[in-house]
Chains A and B, each alone.
Chain A
Amino acid sequence: GQQVQQSPASLVLQEGENAELQCNFSSTATQLQWFYQSPGGSLVSLLSNPSGTKHTGRLTSTTVTKERRSSLHISSSQTTDSGTYLCAIDRANTNKVVFGTGTRLQVLP
């Protein structure tokens, strides 16, 4: 089955609203990363957060390693936040990174 599951699959917001994205994983992870993929396809790393809470700008990620879940909170969303958000884990005792299928976010003006 899917080792990294993201929810919701898609999300539509009005500009200024907050977004909460979820990532659940079935394997023990030594690293967890959130990526942003633009509508044009380019991929950018947003945060590395294997455990605890991390902030950068309007983004906050909270990872609870024991419960194998992570969230990404986007505050005061902007139209330029539209795109796909991907969660990826480094599986413990392997050398492989596994990606979820992403949450597609659309922020309307």
Chain B
Amino acid sequence: EAAVTQSPRNKVAVTGGKVTLSCNQTNNHNNMYWYRQDTGHGLRLIHYSYGAGSTEKGDIPDGYKASRPSQENFSLILELATPSQTSVYFCASGDARGKDTQYFGPGTRLLVL
């Protein structure tokens, strides 16, 4: 079973502050993804990565940066957090786009005041 962990699990930030959400996976999957989940919108893809050193824009990348320093780690960075970024963020990993299932982390609840 794939193991994807996220930290922190809960975060309160102030408007204009920098927030970094971290994701770690231990199954050597090439692909990793960051989503946010909001009522009425479901899960929306923010950024994804095909492997160490790669980051790609998803459907809603504005206001977010991503970093994939290694196969195991994928970070989501909010340089200047805004209240509209209050959400639940999920990280996922998968072996091959279009072929394999995605394994999700437990989620991070972010509140931006």
Report which A residues bind B (CB closer than 8 A). Answer: 4, 30-31, 33, 35, 41-45, 48, 86, 88, 90, 95-102
- Given A33-B102, A42-B106, A45-B101, decide whether A97 and B42 contact each other with a Cβ distance below 8 A: no
How far, in Å, is B75 (CB) from chain A's closest CB? 20
Q: Which chain B residues lie closer than 8 Å to A96 at the CB level?
A: 45, 58-59
How far, in Å, is A47 (CB) from chain B's closest CB? 9
Cα A100 to Cα B40 in complex, Å, equals 10
Residue B90 at the chain A interface, CB threshold 8 Å: yes
Cross-chain contact A95 with B88 (CB below 8 angstroms): no
Cross-chain contact B58 with A48 (CB below 8 angstroms): no
Q: Which chain A residues lie closer than 8 Å to B41 at the CB level?
A: 101
Q: Which chain B residues lie closer than 8 Å to A45 at the CB level?
A: 101-104
Beyond the given A88-B43, A99-B43, please list 11 additional residue pairs across the A-B interface where CB-CB is below 8 A.
A31-B97, A31-B98, A41-B88, A41-B106, A43-B90, A43-B107, A45-B102, A95-B48, A95-B56, A95-B97, A101-B41
Cα A31 to Cα B102 in complex, Å, equals 11
Cross-chain contact B43 with A90 (CB below 8 angstroms): no
Which of B40, B56, B102 has the most C-beta atoms of chain A within 10 angstroms of its own C-beta?
Answer: B102
Cross-chain contact A86 with B45 (CB below 8 angstroms): no
For chain B, the count of residues having a C-beta within 8 Å of the partner chain is: 25
Which of B35, B42, B107 has the most C-beta atoms of chain A within 10 angstroms of its own C-beta?
Answer: B42
- List 26 contacting pairs A-B, 8 Å CB cutoff, sorted by A: A30-B98, A31-B97, A41-B88, A42-B104, A42-B106, A43-B92, A43-B107, A44-B104, A45-B101, A45-B103, A45-B104, A48-B100, A86-B43, A90-B97, A95-B48, A95-B97, A96-B58, A96-B59, A97-B33, A98-B59, A99-B35, A99-B42, A99-B43, A100-B42, A101-B40, A102-B42
Cross-chain contact B42 with A41 (CB below 8 angstroms): no
Q: Which chain B residues lie closer than 8 Å to A4 at the CB level?
A: 42
Cα A87 to Cα B10 in complex, Å, equals 26
Cross-chain contact B42 with A86 (CB below 8 angstroms): yes
Cross-chain contact B101 with A41 (CB below 8 angstroms): no
Cα A13 to Cα B46 in complex, Å, equals 35
